[in-house]
């Protein structure tokens, strides 16, 4: 009898992944960095130094320390937020995670059950949308303007969830370099959002994944800082975009009692300790210089992409210049469905994020597109945008 393990798979699995076929020539997807911007020399030196000094601690899970993660790294995260975002955090309010995706999973595990209501920005991180769909929760998209979440619409949605008998569990927001629009929520808007939220039994999940790569405005204090009680807001951040995504080092910040509960769900025996040690060692002396250099390289690439989009798409597209980060959000005429061009673009080696996958309402998102410029070189950006405009032929 032949054995078929597929018959034993549990129900409702997602479709299997397609075999990996490499990164296409013109890849405008994914939160990747550019090889030339990975600080290899600094990381090598940091790795050698920290391993010589403390390598034997790897003998014990969590380096023999707190399950919250490597203490030096948690202290660095606190210092970084203090200096860069006027945010006060104590090391026992920081949990190091395996990328901030693990932070998303932990917070969802803590708060969500199937059928719950959650509010997210109408255009938001596709990785969060797919998670929420898998969890079977009801997702409501709050309107965005150039300053981020619109308070009136937020109130409307919060009220709707209350009248439905299921107050929203959280508002998930990416206030600083919103993914995908690239906006940054100013201080006044942050205060307005907190004022609205103060009337509801709903948490805020603040994702600051790109906040260290901001160039278009001064960085406002985090919502976490502005929430005086520090209990409504759970915050996450990452070293993926500021150093390298393959490191898989992120962090979750919350009141220490919330973290103690989250620790009961983080049953992975600790996130990888070697990368935590290396990042802590490297970041202590190099983070600011490196982030400044990377931000200015990204700003330049954003300008290259904006010029290419204007040159090749002309009046057929509208976009807002991102305030930081690694992507642009393009809006085409209502009757354009960007997903229709994915297959032909792929045949020409071009990959982009169709707006539907980055939007709560896929119909609303269909005339939009996210283009990432973190990984491609300037030449690739120019040529890829030119080829894409030929494929879409909207002029």
352 close to 340: Cβ distance less than 8 angstroms: no
Q: β-strands 353-354, 350-351: how paired?
A: unpaired
Q: How near is the Cβ of 319 to ligand PLP at its closest, in Å?
A: 18
Of residues 207 and 312, the one with the C-beta less far from ligand PLP: 207
- DSSP characters for 251-289? EEE--HHHHHHHHTT--SSSS-HHHHHHHHHHHHHHHHH
Residue whose Cβ sits closest to ligand PLP: 99
Helix or strand holding residue 358 (H, E): none
Candidates 238-246, 251-259, 306-314, 373-381; binding stretch for ligand PLP (CB under 6 A): 238-246
DSSP of 19-74: PP----TEE--SS---GGGS-HHHHHHHHHHHHHHHGGGGGSGGGGS-TT--HHHH
Is the peptide bond between 211 and the residue preceding it cis, with omega within 30 degrees of 0? no
Closest by CA to 40, choosing from 247, 251, 238, 292, is 247
C-beta of 179 vs 375, nearer to ligand PLP: 179
Q: Segment 56-115, which members bind ligand PLP (CB under 6 A)?
A: 99-101
Query: How distant is the alpha carbon of residue 307 from its chain centre?
Result: 25
> Which CB, 301 or 312, lies closer to ligand PLP?
301
Least Å distance, CB 129 to ligand PLP, is 11
Positions in 203-232 near ligand PLP (CB under 6 A): 207, 209
CB of 173 to ligand PLP, least distance (A): 10
CB of 126 to ligand PLP, least distance (A): 8
* CA nearest to 141, candidates 151, 154, 132: 154
Q: Which of 176, 222, 238, 375 binds ligand PLP (CB under 6 A)?
A: 238
Q: Does 117 bind ligand PLP (CB under 6 A)?
A: no
Q: How far apart are CA 320 and CA 183, in angstroms?
A: 8
CB of 99 to ligand PLP, least distance (A): 3
Q: Is 222 helix (H, G, I), strand (E, B) or coil?
A: coil
Q: Return the residues of window 250-309 that contact ligand PLP according to CB under 6 A.
A: 250
The interface with ligand PLP within residues 309-368 (CB under 6 A) comprises none
Nearer to ligand PLP by Cβ, of 128 and 392: the residue is 128
d(CA 178, CA 216): 12
Pick from 47, 107, 174, 294 the residue near ligand PLP by CB under 6 A. 174
CB nearer to ligand PLP: pick between 116 and 212:
212
How far apart are alpha carbons 34 and 362 in whole angstroms?
30
Contact call for residue 245 and ligand PLP (CB under 6 A): yes
Q: Which residue, 245 or 389, has its beta carbon nearer to ligand PLP?
A: 245
Instruction: Give the span between the Cα atoms of 65 and 249, in whole angstroms.
Output: 17
Cα–Cα dist 319/306, whole Å:
9
> Counting contacts by CB under 6 A, is residue 31 touching ligand PLP?
yes
- The residue within the footprint of ligand PLP, chosen from 108, 117, 173, 179 (CB under 6 A), is 179
> How would you classify residue 86: left for phi > 0, otherwise alpha for psi between -120 and 50, otherwise beta?
left
Q: Please, which residue, 117 or 240, has the CB nearer to ligand PLP?
A: 240
Number of residues forming the site for ligand PLP (CB under 6 A): 14
What residues line the site for ligand PLP (CB under 6 A)? Answer: 31, 99-101, 125, 127, 174, 179, 207, 209, 238, 240, 245, 250
């Amino acid at each position: 009898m032949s054995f078929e393990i597929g018959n034993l798979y549990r129900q409702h699995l997602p479709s299997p992944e397609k075999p990996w076929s490499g990164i296409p020539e013109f890849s405008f997807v994914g939160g990747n960095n550019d090889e030339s911007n990975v600080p290899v020399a600094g990381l090598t030196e940091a790795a050698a130094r920290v391993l010589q000094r403390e390598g034997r601690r790897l003998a014990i899970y969590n380096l023999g320390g707190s399950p919250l993660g490597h203490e030096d790294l948690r202290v660095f995260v606190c210092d970084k937020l203090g200096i860069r975002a006027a945010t006060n955090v104590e090391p026992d309010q920081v949990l190091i995670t395996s990328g901030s995706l693990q932070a998303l999973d932990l917070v969802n595990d803590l708060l969500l059950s199937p059928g719950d209501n959650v509010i997210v920005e109408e255009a938001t991180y596709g990785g969060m949308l797919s998670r929420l769909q898998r969890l079977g929760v009801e997702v409501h998209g709050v309107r965005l303007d150039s300053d981020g979440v619109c308070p009136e619409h937020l109130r409307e949605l919060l009220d709707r969830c209350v009248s439905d008998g299921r107050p929203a569990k959280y508002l998930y927001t990416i206030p600083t370099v919103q993914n995908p629009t690239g906006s940054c929520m100013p201080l006044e808007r942050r205060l307005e959002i907190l004022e609205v939220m103060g009337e509801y039994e709903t948490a805020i999940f603040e994702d600051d994944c790109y906040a260290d790569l901001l160039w278009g405005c001064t960085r406002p204090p985090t919502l976490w800082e502005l929430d005086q009680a520090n209990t409504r807001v759970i915050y996450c951040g990452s070293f993926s975009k500021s150093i390298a995504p393959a490191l898989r080092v992120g962090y979750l910040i919350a009141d220490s009692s919330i973290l103690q509960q989250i620790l009961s769900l983080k049953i992975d025996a600790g996130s990888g300790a070697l990368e935590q040690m290396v990042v802590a060692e490297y970041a202590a002396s190099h983070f600011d210089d490196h982030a400044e250099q990377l931000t200015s390289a990204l700003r330049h690439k954003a300008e290259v992409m904006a010029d290419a989009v204007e040159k090749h798409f002309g009046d057929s597209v509208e976009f807002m210049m991102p305030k930081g980060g690694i992507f642009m959000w393009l809006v085409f005429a209502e009757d354009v469905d960007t997903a229709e061009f994915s297959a032909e673009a792929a045949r020409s080696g071009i990959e982009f994020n169709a707006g539907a996958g980055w939007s709560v309402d896929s119909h609303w998102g269909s005339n939009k597109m996210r283009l990432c410029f973190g990984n491609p070189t300037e030449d690739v950006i120019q040529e890829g945008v030119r080829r894409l405009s030929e494929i879409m032929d909207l002029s």
